[in-house]
A and B are shown apart, each in its own frame.
Chain A
């Protein structure tokens, strides 16, 4: 009985946790709020794991909210892709929240509730099977992110946040226009139903639907930080606090997920006049994003900025590979997505640790004093760096190998190989320079005396251990991402499950 309702648990748990955290908790509210947050994260992880096992064993789960059947009501359609993304966000949230509990959550009010609302929006966006509901969950995660971005306050954050908010407001308006166009032409908002109806469109209606689809690509490109729309990202991620930046490692992935979902299901190969819409654009813009990201990494003088541009590079890599449009490419993208989310988050937290211990020089790439926990932090930085660069033996290497392998045949290799390998070299140069400047060329004299709490270091290590686990269990993980890719390229199964066979 309860298993049937398990599907909605990753949305309900953060929601109730956030509501509980908003209650006045008396003298020392932060203690209770932390406890609720950690418990909620653990519950979400266990729900996500159970869901993953269920979906893997029995196939896709469809949850009709309020028992209104698709296509009339809103459904949550949870397939392998959705569960993996939910599990990823849940696994990411726990160490980040634990890290934040060592003081960062005191910088502003309601950090914990906002954190849970953010997770609620992210999980909802991953699970919904309805385009308008996707918009609503996007707004939920956005409004939480607006407030989180301002956590701690300050002029610089204010400026970055203003840009971010205004851009995303314009993005939301475009999203609504796209939805209006698609609803006007197909008469439905359910993704599965729309996929069936779009294939039947001809003439003017098909042209309108294509325009709507391209608008959706712009909106998701803004969320994912694709080339002409990425300018908000480096400022926002650099200015905000370490934990928020680490949590935002999953935010660009929401955009990538949406592109993956909508452009394989609705505008996939079977979509008639609108089939494989936008893939050309994705390919070239993705490559350009990679290049710009590499230039950004080289030009940054602040470690946070470097990591922000690494996020841009990873988005470019994923979207370019995705636009190759075959199962192997999608499988490679999924592996790379999981890997890059964990490692980017770990790096953001690690830079936060370094900035705190270095004192005045903070995260700028200049010689500073020795850290209090110098060798430990240096080893962690080294591990994270070789993972994000893509050097053996850790998961970055496996991920890049998959991506290069996916593009091995055909013309794609001529473009993708040089750009991906070139950007790898650039990242290596930039990180080697930064690492040697910050860890080896330290100033003479006493080391700093600000030590980080052990719990904070453990949180970073847990995130980094994901890279090790992804390498050790590369085979089963790849088997699973292969299954995801297989699902995505059989959209008729998804459609059949959601619509209950009623229209087929």
Chain B
């Protein structure tokens, strides 16, 4: 199980890095979303992978660490909000600048304006 889990996280991360290194905003946003999935899975595993464990101390069964689950929940919420903002921004950039290239600005007309 550990091997499968590690491979999954690794694949997700590798794909997301590939996507983030693209030059257009859409693949980058997709890549960042994928990276946040990989990160959430990784965080989940920091309490060690336990099958059929309850996150409560005191009963007979094997117990699992409840904290990573809380951390993942927080990370999901924050990541979701941030991704939504990035999508809006990318869409607006596409609309206003007319291209979703991240870096095609001619800087000569940028100076002195804001």
- A residues contacting B by CB (< 8 A) are 132, 136, 139, 142-143, 146, 150, 152, 154-159, 161-163, 165-166, 169-170, 172-173, 176-177, 179-181, 183-184, 189, 238-241, 301-302, 304-305, 355, 361-364
Contact = CB atoms under 8 A, between A and B. Distances in A.
Interface range, B side: 35 or more
A162 B91 CA distance: 10
Contacts of A305: 111
Contact of B90 (A146, A162, A177): A162
B83 to A, nearest CB: 8
A137 to B, nearest CB: 11
Contact of A159 (B67, B81, B83, B105): B105
Interface in B24-48: 25, 28-29, 32, 35-36, 38-39, 42-43, 45-48
A169 B113 contact: no
A162 B89 contact: yes
Contacts of A156: 105, 110, 113-114
B111 A173 contact: no
B112 A302 contact: yes
Nearest to A72: B67
Nearest to B78: A139
Lowest 8 CB-CB distances: which A-B pairs, in order?
A184-B46, A364-B112, A362-B112, A180-B46, A302-B111, A180-B43, A176-B39, A173-B35
B93 interface: yes
Contacts of B20: 166, 170
B42 A180 contact: yes
A172 B111 contact: no
A183 B96 contact: no
Nearest to B46: A184
14 contacts: A143-B81, A156-B110, A158-B92, A158-B93, A162-B25, A166-B25, A173-B36, A176-B75, A180-B43, A180-B71, A183-B67, A183-B68, A304-B114, A362-B112
Contact of A166 (B28, B38, B74): B28
Contacts of A163: 102
B63 interface: no
Given A180-B68, A364-B112, 12 more contacts: A146-B85, A156-B105, A159-B105, A166-B29, A170-B20, A170-B35, A180-B71, A239-B110, A304-B114, A305-B111, A355-B112, A364-B111
Interface string B77-114: 01101110110011011001100001001000011111
A326 to B, nearest CB: 34
A414 B75 CA distance: 45
A162 B93 contact: yes
Contacts of A363: 112
Contacts of B92: 158
A155 B96 contact: yes
A157 B93 CA distance: 10
A355 B114 CA distance: 10
A193 to B, nearest CB: 13
Of B47, B78, B92, B111, most buried by chain A (CB within 10 Å of CB) is B111
A151 to B, nearest CB: 11
Given A139-B78, A165-B89, A240 B32 contact: no
Interface string B37-62: 01100110111100000000000000
Contacts of A165: 82, 85-86, 89
A353 to B, nearest CB: 14
A132 B114 contact: no
A325 B63 CA distance: 42
Contact of A161 (B28, B74, B89, B112): B89
Nearest to B104: A159
A243 B51 CA distance: 53
B85 A136 contact: no
A152 B114 CA distance: 9
B102 A169 contact: no
B114 A240 contact: yes
Contacts of A146: 85, 89
A172 B35 CA distance: 10
A184 B47 CA distance: 6
A176 B97 contact: no
Contacts of A302: 111-112
A143 B32 CA distance: 16
A195 B89 CA distance: 40
B46 A162 contact: no
A163 B102 CA distance: 8
A363 B110 CA distance: 12
Nearest to A188: B67
A189 B32 CA distance: 25
Contact of B71 (A132, A139, A154, A161): A132
Nearest to B71: A132
B114 A177 contact: no
B11 to A, nearest CB: 15
A156 B78 CA distance: 27
A363 B114 CA distance: 10
Contacts of B35: 170, 173
